[in-house]
Amino acid sequence: MKMFFLILGMSLVTYLGRLLPVLFFSQKNNRPRVEKFLRLIPYSAMTALVFPGVLSVDSDFVAIGVVGALTALILSWYGMSITVVVIGAILVNMLMYAM
């Protein structure tokens, strides 16, 4: 029962964060700077989600995150699809753990 309340609480606060912009950001925004800000957010957000967190993806084996991220970086730089990028990074990490 305790676990159910934990899950319920987590789901309510998570949904609240998703609902807030629906309630407060629904009017058309014509200010070009605000528009540009919102267009740049995806890139800054994804950067912040990856770095430096990726370095501690395995805190006992720092090279896992470094080499995994570098693999993804190189593959995507050379125009590979996201599918190849993800599988490539996983395979390289598997090899590292196997060695």
By CB under 8 A, is residue 16 in contact with another protein?
Answer: yes
Rounded to the nearest whole angstrom, what is the least distance from the CB of residue 30 to another protein in the complex? 11
* Radius of gyration over every alpha carbon of the chain, rounded to an integer in angstroms: 19
By CB under 8 A, is residue 31 in contact with another protein?
Answer: no
By CB under 8 A, is residue 14 in contact with another protein?
Answer: yes
By CB under 8 A, is residue 52 in contact with another protein?
Answer: yes
Question: Which string of x and - marks every residue 55-84 that binds another protein (by CB under 8 A)?
Answer: --xx-----xx--xx-xxx-xxx-xxxxx-
Each residue of 65-94: b (16+ CB within 10 Å) or e?
bebbbebbeebbeeeeeeeebeebbeebbe
By CB under 8 A, is residue 30 in contact with another protein?
Answer: no
